[in-house]
Structure 1
Amino acid sequence: MHVASPTKLLIVDDLPENLQALNAVIRGDGRQVFAAGSGEEALALLLQHDFAMAFLDVQMPGMDGFELAELMRGTEKTRQIPIVFVTAAGKELNYSFKGYEAGAVDVLYKPLDARAVKGKVQVFVALYEQREATRRQVEALELARQQQEATLAELNAAQVQLQRALTMRDEFMSMVSHEMRTPLNTLYLETQLRKMQLERGNMAAFGAEQLQRMVARDDRQIQSIIRLIDDMLDVSRIRSGKLSLRPGWVELSGLLRRLVHDLTPQAITAGCTLTLEAATPVSGWWDEFRIEQIVVNLLTNALRYGGQQPVEVALVVEQEWARIEVRDHGPGIAPEQQEKIFEPYERGVGNEVPSGLGLGLYISRELAEVHEGSLTLRSAPGAGSTFILALPRRDAPPL
């Protein structure tokens, strides 16, 4: 609820006894009277306060009442204040005409008629208070309108987000169905083929070499399903704040050599070379499984979208940080896409048909940040892409 502030009145006179007398006449409940002994003092008060009306003595040393009124009329803040001139001069000096010409609402001659003064003050105070009440109502309405617009904008944004979430859900379910169906269909067909061979008594189809190929195919399909399930579980853990690390002492250069060696056959299949520059050993307190997960994802993406160009891995050692940089020489990524690819369910674009659920980079960045590190991208169309995993170098925490 708004608590009304006192209505302020200004009286200006160079004689203290006149200020005291006028103060006694116009003061009242809910009013605050300010007194100034000169035009200069009055100007200082006018700049600090909002007045309902002003009583100005015409004849003052220095700046007289007419000069003060002219200054008030020339300033936006004080232009609308009702001015009443007060003078002890005789009416033959025609101050009334000059006062009205200066924009006064009235000119009073001393000795003042207390009842007339009180009546004028009552009228102008009432007008001022009505005007202030109207102004506050208009401000309240404007504030309510702005709040309503803000609420509407929030609702619209929420509706857009909800629609996007529903679209993403539908797309996600479609992707899950597609990605799960591929290895499951392969497993199903393999199972049916073996069942048919068994029913026909064709045991020759299950020789050592054939069994080895069957097991390898089964393992690939099962690993594909496990990766999909793991990605979905990781997203669930991230969103529920339950993604935790199991840190241990990790040596990065050895880890990278092993991963590059393991992925070299995949690089050959993709028609490109995979090289490593990690001459300086560096150890730190990290989750080895999660670091592997990030690097494998970066390397797999580089081989898939690198346009059969060389892929380079480098380990950069600094005093407080270790950086793993994975660079491809593919088509690069447009600036407007560079942050978007780290969002969930965003899949790569290019000549390769996107595969997976589009969660790899999203999960990788979250894992980097859980390590209090970062995963960033440096790329430009036609200039390839470099993903940079920065990890803080820290010793094991004290027991």
Structure 2
Amino acid sequence: MTASAMPVMPGADDVQLLIVDDLAENRLALSALVQEEGVCVHTAASGEAALDLLLQHEFALALLDVQMPEMSGFELAELIRGSSRTAHLPIVFVTASDRGAACSFRGYDNGAVDVLYKPLDPQAVRSKVRVFTELHRNSRLLRRQLVAVEAAHARQELLLAELQATQDALQRALRMRDEFMSLVSHELRTPLGVMTLDHSARRDRLARGDLAHFTPERLQAMAARDARQLRSMTRLIDDMLDTSRIQHGRLSIAPRPTDLGELARHVADDLAGLFGTVPLDVQATDGVAGCWDDARIAQVLANLLANALRHGQGRPVAVQVSWAADGRARLAVQDQGEGVPAADQQRIFEAFERGAASGPGLGLGLFISRHFVHAHGGEIRLHSTAGQGACFEVLLPTSPPAVAG
């Protein structure tokens, strides 16, 4: 099986032609006739060699000698038409047979676009070849343009999707800003309103000289009420500051040796007044200790307990401190309230997200708690079935990562 005598190295944009003839002088003459700039000519001495070249290259035109031993040009054309790769390749038959209708008819019947008779007219051959080379160039250009258009369309679709996502995020941010301002105004107005009314009442009594009203017991109650309102405002401001630090990547922790069970008992004692008659039980395994920012972890537990009180429907709340099976410290808060629907179990950890039955607050407690826990290299999980209460589980490594925040 013989192809061209010299290896053919087509340029990237060359149009490739295939000449098949069993006679070397015919291949050489026809090659010289059709050779021009931008055209790469491949030659084959047999049908088998031609098929091998057809597997390697994309041709603009095939010039096939009709009368060849072993496989005629007509037989080769049938094989070319039978392959999906080459089915649309233009074929021109070259023959030394008499110019007869039978030969032409068989040539066109085998898928030829033309039949050339020897002796060849050089000008006619060049003209016909140029037609097909230009058609191939234009077809290749159109394919490239189509690919470019499709790529541009894909980029446009991607940009439109990014623009829509940005617009959605902006609209959500604007909604969150409006909701945030409304919530802050509402939440701060309540304690400020109470303190304003108390101040007005006290001022009026002092103006009338009613000092008997300010008994030690009443002064103590007034001070306690003022402290509660101040704590409420302080908590709101602290939540806003923590959220700002988180969103700007400035959250920091200050780890130090901490006994988690002891910390849990202190937080429960501090919040006992809020729970009132609601049972709050703390069960802590001895020796659950590590290196944590006790103030941040105490805030996490306080947030979880406030959440349990808000949604626990007045039923007992349990706090558990123990070691998890993987060696991490485990802190869990279990309530017996309405539970959290599966569809909401991820959403409630986002900023400004509040349950339908939520009371006062900005919806930042769980958002802040999750980031505090992550800053320690830990994770916070929610286990809940609607109507069967909720258990928030915090898992902490015994020491935070080297870089946290």
- The aligned counterpart of 2:348 is 341
**Per-residue CA shift, 1:217-236, capped at 9, x if unaligned?**
11110011011111111111
Q: Indicate which of 180, 196, 199 corresponds to 1:172.
A: 180
- The aligned counterpart of 1:297 is 303
Structure 2 Cα separation of the partners of residues 63 and 308 of structure 1: 95
Unaligned stretches of 5+ residues in structure 1: none
5 Å-filtered alignment, 1:214-233, equals: 214-233=222-241
Q: Indicate which of 84, 89, 110 corresponds to 2:92.
A: 84
Are the counterparts in 1 of residues 292 and 376 from structure 2 also a CA contact under 8 Å? yes
5 Å-filtered alignment, 1:1-399, equals: 5-14=13-22, 18-60=26-68, 63-88=71-96, 94-110=102-118, 112-269=120-277, 271=278, 273-317=279-323, 318-350=325-357, 353-394=358-399
Are the counterparts in 2 of residues 12 and 55 from structure 1 also a CA contact under 8 Å? yes
Identify if the C-alpha distance between structure 1 residues 264 and 104 changes in structure 2 by more than 3 Å, giving closer, same or farther. Answer: same
Are the counterparts in 2 of residues 254 and 281 from structure 1 also a CA contact under 8 Å? no
Structure 2 Cα separation of the partners of residues 326 and 251 of structure 1: 17
Identify if the C-alpha distance between structure 1 residues 70 and 249 changes in structure 2 by more than 3 Å, giving closer, same or farther. Answer: farther
Identify if the C-alpha distance between structure 1 residues 266 and 37 changes in structure 2 by more than 3 Å, giving closer, same or farther. Answer: farther
**Per-residue CA shift, 1:43-99, capped at 9, x if unaligned?**
444344332112233345555433332333234432222112234555569433222
Are the counterparts in 1 of residues 288 and 322 from structure 2 also a CA contact under 8 Å? no
| Bigger mean CA offset, 75-84 vs 288-297 | 75-84
**Per-residue CA shift, 1:8-49, capped at 9, x if unaligned?**
223334555544443333332222333445444444443443
Are the counterparts in 1 of residues 15 and 133 from structure 2 also a CA contact under 8 Å? yes
**SS of equivalent to 2:112:** coil
Are the counterparts in 1 of residues 17 and 60 from structure 2 also a CA contact under 8 Å? yes
Structure 2 Cα separation of the partners of residues 72 and 311 of structure 1: 82
Structure 1 Cα separation of the partners of residues 60 and 201 of structure 2: 98
One-letter amino acid of the structure 1 residue matched with residue 355 of structure 2: G
| Bigger mean CA offset, 163-172 vs 379-388 | 379-388
**SS of equivalent to 1:377:** strand
Q: TM-score, normalised by structure 2?
A: 0.87
Identify if the C-alpha distance between structure 1 residues 71 and 298 changes in structure 2 by more than 3 Å, giving closer, same or farther. Answer: farther
Are the counterparts in 2 of residues 6 and 31 from structure 1 also a CA contact under 8 Å? yes
**Per-residue CA shift, 1:243-279, capped at 9, x if unaligned?**
111121222122122223333443344x3x3223321
Are the counterparts in 1 of residues 261 and 286 from structure 2 also a CA contact under 8 Å? yes
Identify if the C-alpha distance between structure 1 residues 21 and 376 changes in structure 2 by more than 3 Å, giving closer, same or farther. Answer: farther
Structure 2 Cα separation of the partners of residues 354 and 57 of structure 1: 92
Identify if the C-alpha distance between structure 1 residues 369 and 396 changes in structure 2 by more than 3 Å, giving closer, same or farther. Answer: closer
- The aligned counterpart of 2:6 is none
Structure 1 Cα separation of the partners of residues 286 and 67 of structure 2: 92
**SS of equivalent to 1:77:** coil
Are the counterparts in 1 of residues 64 and 92 from structure 2 also a CA contact under 8 Å? yes
Are the counterparts in 2 of residues 248 and 288 from structure 1 also a CA contact under 8 Å? yes
One-letter amino acid of the structure 2 residue matched with residue 184 of structure 1: L
Are the counterparts in 2 of residues 10 and 53 from structure 1 also a CA contact under 8 Å? yes
Identify if the C-alpha distance between structure 1 residues 316 and 58 changes in structure 2 by more than 3 Å, giving closer, same or farther. Answer: farther
Structure 1 Cα separation of the partners of residues 263 and 249 of structure 2: 28
One-letter amino acid of the structure 1 residue matched with residue 215 of structure 2: G
Q: TM-score, normalised by structure 1?
A: 0.88
Are the counterparts in 1 of residues 59 and 89 from structure 2 also a CA contact under 8 Å? yes
Structure 2 Cα separation of the partners of residues 296 and 50 of structure 1: 73
**SS of equivalent to 2:185:** helix
Structure 2 Cα separation of the partners of residues 330 and 314 of structure 1: 17
Aligned-CA RMSD value = 2.7
Are the counterparts in 1 of residues 47 and 73 from structure 2 also a CA contact under 8 Å? yes
Aligned-pair CA distance for 1:363: 1.2
Are the counterparts in 1 of residues 376 and 400 from structure 2 also a CA contact under 8 Å? no
